[in-house]
Structure 1
Amino acid sequence: MQAISKNQIKYIRSLSQIKFRKAHQSYIVEGLKNAAEWLQQKADIEFIVGLATWFEENSEIIKQYTAAQCLVATEEDFEKISGFKTPNQILLVARMPEQAELANIKPDEWVLMLDKVQDPGNLGTIIRTADWFGIKTIVCSPDCVEQFNPKVIQSTMGSLLRVNCVYTDLVALLASKPETPSYAAILGGDQLDAAQAYTPGFIIMGNESKGISEAVKARVQHQLTIRRIGAAAESLNVAVATGIFCHALIS
């Protein structure tokens, strides 16, 4: 172990910005539960930053890492690098994995497709939902929020390690796979029926306020709507709607 340096503090602080995450191909994982998940799953860790007490209590866990990877920080250091209002006692800097290849998607595989989902909390919850339903791939439009955004990481609770997020042009992908069924969440579509057997394919969810773009909608095979029972609510949160769609289509 070694004390964290000023340059390392500066580097870690820079990773709160997407341009530096992309430049360094690294991201931050913060908090005890998330850090434990990343360490347990043996993710590619660049640095473990912790209070001296954390390292003392987790001496077995850190044996597989070099002294240069284990950085001892003070509470004052954590206040400089933490994105939490109340800094925790551990923070990881992890390396980004290579983007998964869409060619590896199996014909009988369910895939989530997100069109301009921009709220980090929503994307994080959707990633957790995908993990729950056994979905291994989420295809995001280029204007979706980045999966390594700290708020997304916090919301996934480790599910990001088991779900691949791929960013690509949705219209081009749908056009290249006309044989793959596509099911889109659209107001005014056919009623989503949990009793019906659906063939695996793309589950498409849209932007929080504008829904699915017209260009993507034009490529969709099945437009489906969750039956509304109440009279007042105009729409559902996209993460909630994703859970309902996954349950109805996959279960």
Structure 2
Amino acid sequence: MISKNNLKFVHQLEQKKYRRKEGLFVAEGPKVVGDLMTAGFNPRMLFAVEEWIKKELTGCVQEVTDDELRKLSFLQHPQQVLGVFEIPESKTCKSISEDELYLALDGVQDPGNLGTIIRLADWFGINTIFCSEDTADVWNPKVIQATMGSIARVEVVYTNLKQLIKQTNLPVYGTLLDGKDIYAQELTEHGIIVMGNEGNGISPEIRQLITNKLLIPKFQEGPESLNVAIATAITCSEFKRRIR
């Protein structure tokens, strides 16, 4: 039987201040928990139903009922297992290789968008995402869930984007309304792709550092803009298509 203290402790980790204080985050479901454990993330607690425990044969787990898992979970439909993992040592800066393609997120606020972008980076073989300090917290349970396990393979680094970009000679791409048609422009194999805030786009101080302005054209009148995760998918796909 799950204790009230454990229930309260897990629920507190929905808040950023408690995640920072404890150095822990929550992940749910066989896919996400399994990928994290395979990647070497250290589980402090695991709560799982009998079905999952029989498959995994791990000793570091507390068996719970379906009802208890529902009380623990942040999901509308809990998925067999919930894990409390240690947050890896934070990395505030990283040297940029001239032989990589990076994503840089400038003030992306929606946890679902951030998680989806991490999943997209994993899909397209982009290993590192640089985030401005006002981007959503990567260890938010909604972000972790939206990554569907990709958080185990993509490194997310919070940093001062302006300083970071100024220190590199890589081409810096950004999707802007005054950009040029992405399908008609030359794209390089290596560089930094900047994606902006959901409402305001790329901030003025980062915009002035963009060396290659791109536009995803629309083919009829309608919506004024694309969701940032969808725009990221289109942009990454076009970059990777060119180098196949």
CA distance in 2, matches of 1:194, 1:29: 41
Contact 2:27–2:141 (CA<8 Å) still a contact in 1? yes
Of 71, 83, 92 in structure 1, the residue corresponding to residue 83 of structure 2 is 92
Figure out how many residues of one structure are paired with residues of the other and give that number: 241
Residue matched to 1:226: 216
Whether contact under 8 Å (2:195, 2:202) holds in the other structure is: yes
Which residue of structure 2 aligns with residue 58 of structure 1? 56
Aligned residue identity for 1:242: T
- Which residue among 209, 212, 215 is the counterpart of 2:202? 212
What's the Cα RMSD here? Answer: 1.9
- Alignment match, 1:29: 27
CA contact (8 A) 1:112 1:202 kept: yes
Q: Which runs of 5+ in 1 are unaligned?
A: none
**From 36, 45, 48, the counterpart of 2:46:** 48
The whole-number CA distance in structure 2 between the counterparts of 1:245 and 1:197 is 10
**Amino acid of the structure 2 residue aligned with 1:210:** N
Q: Give the letter aligned to residue 247 of structure 1.
A: S
Worse-superposed segment, 185-194 or 125-134:
185-194
SS at structure 2 position matched to 1:155: helix
Q: Structure 1 residues 144, 239: closer, same or farther in 2, change over 3 A?
A: same
Offset from partner CA, 1:65-109 (integer Å, 9 cap, x none): 4xxx32222334323321122333210111111234643432110
Residue 189 (structure 1) aligned with residue 179 (structure 2): yes
Match of 2:133 among 142, 146, 149: 142
- Equivalent in the alignment of 2:4: 6
Tell me the CA shift for residue 194 of structure 1.
6.3
Structure 1 residues 87, 243: CA separation in 2 closer, same or farther (over 3 Å shift)? closer
Q: CA deviation at 1:199?
A: 4.5
Q: Say which is worse superposed, 103-112 or 69-78, in terms of deviation.
A: 69-78
Whether the 8 Å contact between 1:100 and 1:164 is mirrored in structure 2 is no
- Counterpart in the other structure of 1:121: 112
Between the aligned partners of 1:208 and 1:23, the Cα distance in structure 2 is 29
TM-superposition CA deviations, 1:183-222 (whole Å, max 9, x none): 0111121221367341511100001111001011011111
1:197–1:116 CA distance, 2 compared to 1 (3 A) = closer
Aligned equivalents of 1:85, 1:233: Cα separation in 2:
30
Confirm whether residue 103 of structure 1 aligns to residue 101 of structure 2: no
48-57 or 128-137, which deviates more = 48-57
Alpha-carbon distance in 2 for matches of 1:103, 1:152: 22
Write the letter of the residue equivalent to 2:15.
Q
Moved over 4 A (4+): none
Corresponding position: 1:132 with 2:123: yes
Q: How does 1:153-164 map to 2 (within 5 A)?
A: 153-164=144-155
- Equivalent-residue separation in structure 2 for 1:16 and 1:154 (angstroms): 12
Q: Please give the alpha-carbon distance, in whole angstroms, between the structure 2 residues aligned to 1:87 and 1:174.
A: 41
**Structure 1 counterpart of 2:159, from 161, 168, 187:** 168
Q: Which of 222, 225, 229 lines up with 1:235 in the alignment?
A: 225
